[in-house]
Chains A and B, each alone.
Chain A
Amino acid sequence: MRLIAELERLQAGRGHIDAGSLRELSSRLRVPLYRLEGLVSFYPHVRTNPAPPTVVSICRDVSCHLADGATEAAAVKRMLADREDVAVEETSCLGCCELAPAARVNGHPCRMREAAAIAGSTSPAAGPDRQGRTAVATWQVEPYGDGERYGALRAALAAASPDAEAERIVDVLEAAGLRGMGGAGFPTGLKWKLVRSEPARPKYVVCNADESEPGTFKDRVIMEELPHLVVEGLALGAFVVGAAKGIIYLRHEYEAARRALEQELERARGAGLLGPGILGSGFDLDVEIFVSPGGYILGEETALLEALEDRRGEPRNKPPFPGQAGLHGRPTLMNNVETLALVPPILHRGVDWWRAAGREGHAGLKFISVSGHVEKPGVYEIRTGTTVEELIAAAGGVSDGRSLKAFAPGGASSHFLPADRANVPIDFATLERAGSMMGSGALVVVAEGTPMLPLAANVVRFFRNESCGKCVPCRVGTEKATQMLAESLEEGVPLDWPTIRKLDLLLRETSICGLGYVALNSLLSVAEHWPQEVPGCPAGSAKG
């Protein structure tokens, strides 16, 4: 963390890091130059060349693609073409898909169509902070209302036997059936139990707040609006596994979330809920925020650990898993923002409440980012088991009165499904049975009339752009797939389908991490459900 923090400090000073500064850093910290080169060239938020006073970042990913971002991006570039003091840069999903097509001007989120005007104003740095809010005013997961917060943590620390209490908490989470909300869906109670049983010390707890999957912004809203539940969930995790150090690994773009979390950590320290001997118990916990130097792959748990250890964020070969050998080789409990935020309400209100919160046999509540062709994109807190069509209706319906053509329920890595499956209840098992997955809880809505192959090509290109480059199949395979799709779309030539199938086999079977496994999911699902839109794909053979 020290080296990356030094790089951030250097960049904050001059806006970029030149070779002279790197050489000075190299001799001062006795770090070889090649290591610094490896870092500064890997992380997108490190600049080695001076930036102009105004930087406009325009998103090119799925929700913005659906909002005709390409046309707007071209307009922004045209309007700012003769401004030498403005750089327009294409970037991966910014995590504010409710503003799609979205942009940032010197770090401030805005709609792309406003970007040129904001950048053209005299002091663009003072542009509006347009972090979009959601339509929902109160959250059902909030267990404390206006009353005293941190009730679940207080109860845990007041228990006569910390060991028995930790085991009770694990039992409650297992009985609730809580699963990881970051994408993989690993059972939370089991994860806590496994890390608890590891004998090595010290242990760490990491909150994975590096939400970067196109179409996904629920964690951002949770951190902005319910930061106390995230901090309390993290503290409960630390209490159960026996960690004294917690880290919130936060994506770079989430500045409003950072402010909310910083304020919450300050409040908690002031109230004696963090620090040494919390509330007079023998439990110590220190929590800090680490701002990611950037890149989707850092959300992969072991890539994240590599970044925390000052290396290029490239996923590790597993096993060992972070729970066994994570940060600095020590047992590390890592959970997603939403997962941690759901722990206090479950403990405070009990398993029966959690089960009853869902619908028709589905347990609990779920945060879903809704984007794409809907009237009111935003973050929706739903009862698990709510159907996709009900959620689309809650979001104001398909935009401009169109009918539904397709949807991806779990972000860019989940399979697109046709409209006739929109009656699927939103839950892990039901979405899998329907041929897709919960993924990162991001419903991307596609209206009738939208060509599906360019949409799939957009998603495949995202994974190519965000591949770390460590393993052969992902580094080379995502590039070949992107090239083949671009050629097919630009020149109207059929796709060489057997080669696409081979690429999918290699990505799925041989990649080190999940980025490679899912890279062609969008394309395969489009070929399965809309084969007539995929030249070269023999109908009915998409799965073959």
Chain B
Amino acid sequence: MPSLTVDGRSIEVPAGTTIWEAARRLGVEIPVLCHDPRLEPVGVCRLCLVDVGEKKLTASCVRVAEEGMEVRTSSERLAACRQGLIELLLSDYPARPADRYKTAPDLLVSQARDLGIRWPSPAGGFPAGDGRGIDASSKVILVDHQACILCDRCVRGCDDVQVNEVIGRTGKGYATRIAFDLDQPMGQSTCVSCGECEKVCPTGALSLVRPERGAPDAVASADTDWEVL
């Protein structure tokens, strides 16, 4: 059982426990976008970086706690990194994604508000990106690639949790997108419309198709631009 400190508080955790999980047990919520405790961590959004006194910051969602580790979850350096990462993502985020129905609030937007980032507004001086397109081929899920942050949650939800094995990634670098089967439109893929991908998606990239009858029964959440069902 390694014992470590998180922001000066000690905790002993079973071997193999991640820093993120150890912090959580102490009531310290390290911000995340790509991580969900139900999924195997991938450490790609970098928001959960912490300082363990090494030369490099380390992603707490994947880094296993070690004996004697002294973890700092907040500092000026970490705050600057987190703010910058959110700004980077917002610079490509659709300005006002209307008509989206989510089963949970938009985590990217709420993280931004927690950090005091005004949005929508020009994000951090970064040039804005757009043009990734929308896939409206599915009767159940609307795919807005421009709102996708490649967090890999839907991929893991589809392939590991539901074992439907439909969603992956296509392309490389900045051109990477989520894709269904051999990059079919979602409605023409082997997707069984289980809804898991929408449920785990932290942004407006995967949302529920608006019911056709009249105004939705949705409740607009106070802290998001989405209407939450």
Contact surface of A with B, Cβ cutoff 8 Å: 19, 22-23, 32-38, 41-42, 295, 312, 317, 319, 464-473, 475-480, 483-484, 487, 496, 498-499, 502-503, 505-506, 509-512
Contact of A465 among B84, B155, B168, B173 (CB under 8 A): B173
Distance in Å: Cβ of B50 to nearest Cβ of chain A: 12
Residues of A within 8 A of B69 (CB): none
The residue on A at minimum CB distance from B155 is: A34
Residues of A within 8 A of B59 (CB): 317, 512
Residues of A within 8 A of B176 (CB): 469, 475
Q: Which of B124, B127, B174 has the most C-beta atoms of chain A within 10 angstroms of its own C-beta?
A: B174
The verdict on B77 contacting chain A, using a C-beta distance below 8 Å, is: yes
Residues of B within 8 A of A496 (CB): 125
Pairwise interchain contact A464-B168, C-beta atoms closer than 8 A: no
Q: How far is the CA of A290 from the CA of B106 in the complex (A)?
A: 44
Of the listed stretches B24-32, B41-49, B214-222, chain A binds B41-49
A selection of 5 A-B contacts at a CB cut-off of 8 Å is A37-B168, A38-B168, A473-B85, A477-B88, A496-B125
Distance in Å: Cβ of A386 to nearest Cβ of chain B: 30
Pairwise interchain contact A502-B84, C-beta atoms closer than 8 A: yes
20 further interface pairs, Cβ-Cβ under 8 Å (given A33-B190, A476-B174, A509-B77): A33-B182, A34-B180, A34-B181, A37-B170, A37-B183, A41-B179, A317-B62, A319-B63, A469-B171, A471-B46, A472-B85, A472-B150, A476-B88, A478-B174, A479-B173, A499-B124, A502-B124, A503-B84, A505-B80, A509-B81
Pairwise interchain contact A33-B181, C-beta atoms closer than 8 A: yes
Q: How far is the CA of A477 from the CA of B80 in the complex (A)?
A: 15
Q: How far is the CA of A512 from the CA of B48 in the complex (A)?
A: 12
Pairwise interchain contact B43-A506, C-beta atoms closer than 8 A: no
In the complex, which residues 25-84 of chain B have their Cβ closer than 8 Å to any Cβ of chain A?
Answer: 43-46, 49, 56-57, 59, 62-63, 77, 80-81, 84
Pairwise interchain contact B57-A472, C-beta atoms closer than 8 A: no
Residues of A within 8 A of B190 (CB): 33
Pairwise interchain contact B126-A480, C-beta atoms closer than 8 A: yes
Pairwise interchain contact A317-B63, C-beta atoms closer than 8 A: yes
The verdict on B198 contacting chain A, using a C-beta distance below 8 Å, is: no
Contact of A42 among B45, B92, B166, B172 (CB under 8 A): B172
Contact of A41 among B77, B80, B91, B170 (CB under 8 A): B170
Q: How far is the CA of A35 from the CA of B44 in the complex (A)?
A: 19
Q: How many of B's residues come within 8 Å of A, CB to CB?
A: 46
Pairwise interchain contact A505-B172, C-beta atoms closer than 8 A: no
Pairwise interchain contact B173-A468, C-beta atoms closer than 8 A: yes
The verdict on B4 contacting chain A, using a C-beta distance below 8 Å, is: no
Residues of A within 8 A of B127 (CB): 480, 483-484, 487
Contact of B172 among A295, A498, A509 (CB under 8 A): A295
Pairwise interchain contact B173-A464, C-beta atoms closer than 8 A: yes
Distance in Å: Cβ of A6 to nearest Cβ of chain B: 16
State whether A475 and B174 are in contact (beta carbons under 8 Å apart), knowing that A37-B182, A469-B150, A470-B44 are contacts in the complex.
yes
In the complex, which residues 144-202 of chain B have their Cβ closer than 8 Å to any Cβ of chain A?
Answer: 149-150, 155, 159, 165-176, 179-183, 190
The verdict on B89 contacting chain A, using a C-beta distance below 8 Å, is: yes
Q: How far is the CA of A465 from the CA of B174 in the complex (A)?
A: 8
The verdict on B97 contacting chain A, using a C-beta distance below 8 Å, is: no
Q: How far is the CA of A302 from the CA of B172 in the complex (A)?
A: 17
Q: Which of A19, A41, A295, A503 has the most C-beta atoms of chain B within 10 angstroms of its own C-beta?
A: A41
Residues of B within 8 A of A472 (CB): 44-46, 85, 88-89, 149-150
Residues of B within 8 A of A511 (CB): 46
The verdict on B16 contacting chain A, using a C-beta distance below 8 Å, is: no
Q: How far is the CA of A544 from the CA of B124 in the complex (A)?
A: 18
Distance in Å: Cβ of A14 to nearest Cβ of chain B: 17
Q: How far is the CA of A483 from the CA of B168 in the complex (A)?
A: 27
The verdict on B120 contacting chain A, using a C-beta distance below 8 Å, is: no
The residue on B at minimum CB distance from A484 is: B127
The verdict on B129 contacting chain A, using a C-beta distance below 8 Å, is: yes
Contact of A509 among B57, B159, B170, B174 (CB under 8 A): B57
Distance in Å: Cβ of A42 to nearest Cβ of chain B: 5
State whether A41 and B172 are in contact (beta carbons under 8 Å apart), knowing that A472-B88, A472-B149 are contacts in the complex.
yes
State whether A475 and B169 are in contact (beta carbons under 8 Å apart), knowing that A37-B182, A480-B127 are contacts in the complex.
no
